[in-house]
Chains A and B, each alone.
Chain A
Amino acid sequence: MPHHFNSLVVILGKAVRNAARLRGGGSALPGLFVEKISPDFIKQTLGQLPHGVVVVSGTNGKTTTTKMVVALLEAHGLKVFTNRTGSNFTRGVAAALLGDIDMRGKLHADIAVLELDEAHAVNFVKTIPPRYSLLLNVMRDQLDRFGEIDATAKMLEKIAVATTDTVVLNREDRRVLAIKDTLSGQKVELFGLSDSLLPDFPSDDDMRNSAVIKTTRPNANVLLKKYSGNTATYDLGGKEFTTTLKLNGVYNVFNSAAAIALARAVLAGETKPDLILSTIAEVTPAFGRGEELEVGGQPLELVLVKNPSGFRLGLKSFSPAGYATMIAINDNYADGRDMSWLWDVDFESLSDEGVSEVAGIRAYDMALRLQYDEVTIGHIERDLPTALRQFIDNNTTSPKRIYCTYTAMLALRRELSKITKVEVIS
């Protein structure tokens, strides 16, 4: 492609990006623009990087894990490009690139760490084979887009096969672990959990299966050994290290083991355990993933829920005692249209406190779900701004927690930014 045309694309793309930000729009629009005008844009720009590209994929935890990987690599001196927005489709990557490149289309970075949605990652790796990949898990999520869990696992396998150097896999997810046997040229690193932590992570397969038998598993390079309160103990290559964390939620903590395993692979023995631990200790959850805001002098937590396993882990991680709870369920394309998943989550843990506010496009589906778990409901309001106001006004003296689907979270953050400090994401 002629150089002057590429520059034009960059300038136009940046202009669309600024315009989209001014009107408070999503991050994918400018990326869509560039994708249409110059399909080779991402390939050309990422092809310049000396340490190549890292892809993080899987159903749950991509955003927070990517954030941790970036922090670990930066702590070790690398300049990292990443798609911080959580807009993990290809055009989200293009949008993020537009923000970081100079007007000549040059990206000043050593390595790119990208979180990619499984389906989009398959297309992405066809054009840009990653040097490293981290595959987190295959959970039931958005089956209306991907069909079946086994089909999603096949997508992750394609990412692994396209990887040129090292593939990092979750030992505790049997579909992810099985990918190991399909690889030949690549190095494989595993992260895992000690036996005592396994019961905290039931897979979708084991959900209605009380007799979970774990067979002997291969050794993991990074192991989360213990986790209680906010203290975690890791086994890194046979040595134990303990640290306190700012992350909350047992799933976020497991993902820190994934991030460490990936960072160790990228830095190939150049890592310093002390630096790893001090960096992980400072990482806060990614936006909407247990993110804590302040409203009226009380904390307000946003917990993103996208699928049954994520919702179950969220309910398990955060005690409802003393908290006012709101649940906001949308069914836009990015959330998944199918509401079946709500029936694979038990809400009995909310029985004592009840749910103060049920909101979102599918508020009545959520309320119906709570009815069958005999959980009391304060109000049902489909309109998110109204529901949020009502929720805050009715619970002025309590800390608050909102479980929300992806598009509901974006809408709520937008509303919350009018009344409190919300980290701006771009």
Chain B
Amino acid sequence: MTKQSITVLQLYPKDMNIYGDHGNLLVIQRRLEWYGYEPTIIHYNVGDVFPENVDIIIGGGGQDSGQEIIHEDLIKIGPKLKALAENGVPMLMVCGLYQLFGNFFKTLGGKTMTGIGVLDIETHGTQERLIGNIVTTNEEFGEIIGYENHSGQTFLGENTQPFATVLKGAGNNSKDSHEGARYKNVIGTYLHGSILPKNPRLADFLIHTAVTKKYGDFSTDIIDDLLADLARDIASERPR
């Protein structure tokens, strides 16, 4: 029997991959394999042709310089990403691309970088770097454990829900207790670490959503996540 295939697109791996974002791709790829699906990975970089059919999209963080390099291209493919988001395609955007999936990023120097507006959020550059181990909680996924490192502070507009509530750490900003943003199946977050290895429920949400959307049902296989559980226990106890 030929395996059912799932196409995973990683946005800008060349310029936005600085905080272990490759780990998120690897986790989705392996778990798809372990569940019995055939993952097809597309590395989308500046200037590439945006593919017609995509089932999962992930994107990562970068240097400020990386954000500048990809900005124009992102604006160009923005309408396509927006249509896919409206259509319920699961996406995970971490740090830099989370910010640019919002309305705008205003740097400390007063320069404004427009986002693609998938998420109703705005981000302001600050002098303060929010950095360290972080634990958040979300009704659907339970405790989410990771590491944050950002100086941009993000605030939610009316049309976007926070992704999670901070238990330990800073999250979106130093004012409220929100972490990340959620619109339909699009999740934006500041957690790297990488986020998916230690949060397999979140990885499975992206996979499950994509598979059931495309094929109607989902694999009955079970993955042993003991190592992830043990790593979570230790990580949540470590100093900030």
A contact residues vs B (CB 8 Å cutoff):
140, 143-144, 147-150, 204, 207-209, 331, 337-344, 361-362, 364-365, 367-369, 371-374, 382
Contacts and interface: CB of A to CB of B under 8 A. Distances in A.
A365 B20 contact: no
9 contacts: A209-B14, A337-B239, A364-B227, A364-B231, A367-B227, A367-B230, A371-B227, A372-B27, A373-B26
B23 A148 contact: no
B165 interface: no
Residue picked from B129, B194, B231, B235, most chain A C-beta under 10 Å: B231
A369 B233 CA distance: 16
Contacts of B233: 364
Contact of B26 (A143, A148, A343): A343
B190 interface: no
A140 B43 contact: no
A290 B178 CA distance: 45
Nearest to A148: B63
Nearest to B233: A364
Contacts of B23: 340, 342-344, 369, 372
B239 A338 contact: no
B19 interface: yes
Given A148-B64, A340-B193, A368-B197, A143 B19 contact: yes
A364 B234 contact: yes
B151 interface: yes
Contact of B193 (A150, A208, A339, A364): A339
A365 B18 contact: no
Given A204-B18, A207-B17, A343 B194 contact: yes
A369 B239 contact: no
A344 B22 contact: yes
A148 B66 CA distance: 11
Contact of A372 (B21, B30, B65, B239): B30
A332 to B, nearest CB: 9
Contact of B198 (A148, A204, A368, A373): A368
B227 A343 contact: no
A361 B230 CA distance: 12
Given A149-B18, A150-B64, A368-B227, A337 B194 contact: no
Given A208-B13, A368-B227, A372-B197, 7 more contacts: A147-B151, A150-B65, A204-B18, A209-B14, A341-B20, A365-B198, A365-B235
B77 interface: no
Give the contact-size bracket for chain B: 35 or more
A344 B22 CA distance: 6
Contact of A364 (B13, B17, B30, B230): B230
Given A147-B129, A150-B63, A340 B234 contact: no
Contacts of A365: 198, 231, 234-235
A140 B193 contact: no
Nearest to B194: A343
B26 A338 contact: no
Given A339-B235, A340-B193, A208 B22 contact: yes
Contacts of A204: 18
Given A364-B231, A368-B197, A340 B192 contact: yes
Residue picked from A331, A337, A339, A371, most chain B C-beta under 10 Å: A339
A382 B131 CA distance: 25
B18 A144 contact: no
B27 A147 contact: no
Contacts of A374: 30
A343 B18 contact: no
A361 B233 CA distance: 12
B228 interface: yes
Interface string B198-240: 1000000000000000000000000000011011011100111
B132 interface: yes
A361 B234 contact: yes
Contact of B231 (A148, A338, A341, A367): A367
A204 to B, nearest CB: 7
A322 B147 CA distance: 37
A149 B30 CA distance: 30
A207 B17 CA distance: 9
Contacts of B240: 337
Interface in B18-67: 18-23, 26-27, 30, 43, 63-65
Contacts of B198: 365, 368
B27 A208 contact: no
Interface in B120-175: 129, 131-133, 147, 149, 151
B14 A344 contact: no
Residue picked from A341, A342, A343, A373, most chain B C-beta under 10 Å: A343
A374 B27 CA distance: 11
Contact of A147 (B17, B133, B149, B231): B149
Given A140-B18, A372-B30, A338 B193 contact: yes
Contact of B197 (A147, A343, A344, A382): A343
A339 B18 contact: no
Contact of A338 (B21, B43, B149, B151): B149
Nearest to B131: A144
B14 to A, nearest CB: 5
A71 B21 CA distance: 41
Contacts of A208: 13-14, 17, 22, 43
A267 to B, nearest CB: 38
Contact of B238 (A148, A149, A337, A369): A337
